[in-house]
Amino acid sequence: MAPGTNPLTQQIIERIVAVLEAITTGDDFFYTPAAVAKRFVHWREASFSADKPYYMVFRDSGGVITQIGENLYCEDYFINIKGYVKDNNDTVTRLERAIRDIKKAINDDSKLETAGSLGALGAAVTIEEPPETDNGYLSLEGIGFFDQRIRIRIDGDFGEL
């Protein structure tokens, strides 16, 4: 017997990947991503350029599951979006713009109620802390690295989460 639909946590990760892949340089965003991966890619392996950052999406460790009713739970966890930018002279600007693109795209999608959106999936999405960066260590290579945590809160029974 085949399992039912994918776990809600996986649906949310897939949606975040789709949202990031849909970012396009223009009026609302600075950069179209070179790629969005669901695995860690070393900067030497990743293919990206000055105007095309590389993003990686993961579920972070930790979180909390709280019972909020009979057979009803709230799962509170984090998604990490890691990224590389390239610029031989100014990785800071590239980092700040890429991070802003990610925050805006996810924030916009979380407000939507269209099928498949983060809003329609019932994901309460917040960004509660600034990203971690490489602190300029990769700038000798003309690269910047960041790691932005996104907090996700969802409700359901264990069969849904």
pTM (global) more than 0.95: no
> Is 56 a member of any domain?
yes
Q: Of 28-32, 71-75, 96-100, give the lowest mean pLDDT range.
A: 71-75
Task: State pLDDT tens for residues 106-122.
Answer: 999 999 999 999 999 99
Structure-derived torsion over alpha carbons of residues 117, 106, 22, 14, reported in degrees to the nearest 10 = -60
> Is 61 a member of any domain?
yes
Count of CB atoms situated within 10 Å of the CB of 20:
22
Task: State pLDDT tens for residues 40-68.
Answer: 999 999 999 999 999 999 999 999 999 99
- pLDDT computed for residue 160 by the predictor: 81
> Is 2 a member of any domain?
no
> For all residues of the chain together, what is the average pLDDT?
94
> Is 34 a member of any domain?
yes
- pLDDT computed for residue 2 by the predictor: 56
- 14 contacts 37 by C-beta, under 8 angstroms: no
Domain count, the chain: 1
